[in-house]
Amino acid sequence: MSSLRDRLSKGLSIALSDEDEAQAASMKATAPTTGPGQTMTIAALRKQIADLKSQLEARDIGGSDEAQTKIKELEEQLASASMLKLPLERLHEVPGRRRFMEPAKYSELRENLRHNKLVHPVVVRATADGGYEIVSGHHRVDAYRELGRQTIRCVLEDGTEDQADDGAFFANLMQSDLTDYEKYVGLKRFQSKHPELSQTEVSVRVGISQPHVSALLSYERLPTEVHAILQQQMALVGATAASELAAATDAGRGERVTEAVRRLSEKKLDQAQAVRFAKDTDKPKTAKPAATTFKVKDGKSTWCDVRRARNVMRLEFQSEAIAESVQEAIRRHLEALATDAKS
């Protein structure tokens, strides 16, 4: 069988060094069993694939069967090198990457994994001490531990710690069941690592509209006590309600906002009621004075119904004809009263 160099050089004029050929051959023969060694293998395979594709594009020969076959071989090696079965004791959690899951949904996941094989492997990143950081798949790991399993299928990622954090955030962001509060926590972490980005630029990077990013970041302005509640019940307050509660906090009603969220957490209020409660002031409302009424009788029937509230008086006569007949008399009487008031 012809060598890799011979097959690719024939008709393609792509130069591979002795080092490239040796590296490709060695990666076919053996697979490193250590995290750092496997990470180096993955990085080398990705570099080979990228370099080969780049050379093909530069020569406008991307459709070559020989080249595409080799790229496919390397990609298969990459997929194989990335797959691991790891002891659970070697997997460690990094704060901030785990997403919230309702207890009921977690129970469903655990029971599913009790009876079925793992479909989506856990994504991990190798550490210098021989362990692995969990990038995504924390609840799958938890379920396996509760089920008494010893190992779990994983996919090895070779990015940096920041890339792993961002990758976990973006992956979680695409989950429809991610709570708004979790999105806020992820956005704050992303902002802290990219202080050079404006809010508009952040919205472009994460794929969320700028107004929605602004609403998510409004959680930042809520009282500390509210954050303590939300960390335990992340689905309690959505971003729209959070922005209204933040405005109430800015207006000096922080204590009332805290009380509103506390009552919401105790199911004494719903979300809309909590927002209204936070916006209300503590000042007692002045009661409206009761209206005074009396009736002018004509025998047993009501000739005129009179009602007064503050400075407004309403007269309702028995008929339109009566109202018309007394209108002039009322006018003269009122004018006389006005004249007397001046004297």
pLDDT in tens, 208-232: 788 988 999 999 999 999 999 999 9
- Across residues 92-102, what is the average pLDDT? 80
Q: In this structure, are 191 and 263 located in the same domain? A: yes
Q: In this structure, are 96 and 43 located in the same domain? A: no
* pLDDT tens digits for range 287-312: 677 889 999 998 889 999 999 988 99
- Across residues 236-264, what is the average pLDDT? 95
Position 307 in a domain: no
The answer to which of 73-77, 175-179, 200-204, 310-314 has the lowest mean pLDDT is: 73-77
Q: Report the percent of the chain where pLDDT is more than 90.
A: 39
Residue 29 domain boundaries:
4-81
- In this structure, what token pair is assigned to residue 252? 């000096």
Residue 107's alpha-carbon distances to 137, 144, 164, 276, 319, in angstroms, are 15, 12, 27, 35, 74
Position 120 in a domain: yes
CATH of the domain at 223: 1.10.10
Placement of tokens 């409206």 in the chain? 288
Q: Report the percent of the chain where pLDDT is more than 70.
A: 69
- What is the DSSP track for 237-271? S-HHHHHHHHHHHHTT-HHHHHHHHHHHHTTSS-H
Q: In this structure, are 112 and 127 located in the same domain? A: yes
| Residue 316 pLDDT | 94
| pLDDT band (50, 70, 90) for residue 80 | low
Position 248 in a domain: yes
- Whether 306 and 315 have beta carbons less than 8 Å apart is answered as yes
**pLDDT above 90 (res 170):** no
Distance of alpha carbon 225 from alpha carbon 229, whole angstroms: 7
Position 96 in a domain: yes
Position 150 in a domain: yes
Position 259 in a domain: yes
Q: In sequence order, what are the residues at sequence separation of 6 or more whose Cβ sits closer than 8 angstroms to the Cβ of residue 74?
A: 24, 45, 48, 49, 52
Tell me which of 254, 279, 304 is where a domain ends: 279
| Residue 103 pLDDT | 87
Tell me which of 81, 104, 129 is where a domain ends: 81
- Whether 106 and 72 have beta carbons less than 8 Å apart is answered as no
Q: In this structure, are 190 and 273 located in the same domain? A: yes
**pLDDT above 80 (res 140):** yes
Count of structural domains, the chain:
3
Tell me which of 279, 304, 328 is where a domain ends: 279
Position 91 in a domain: yes
Distance of alpha carbon 54 from alpha carbon 62, whole angstroms: 9
| pLDDT band (50, 70, 90) for residue 40 | low
- Whether 106 and 142 have beta carbons less than 8 Å apart is answered as yes
| Residue 141 pLDDT | 96
* pLDDT higher at 207 or 179: 179
Distance of alpha carbon 289 from alpha carbon 36, whole angstroms: 81
Taken in order 239, 240, 245, 251, is the CA torsion positive or negative? Answer: positive
| pLDDT band (50, 70, 90) for residue 5 | very low
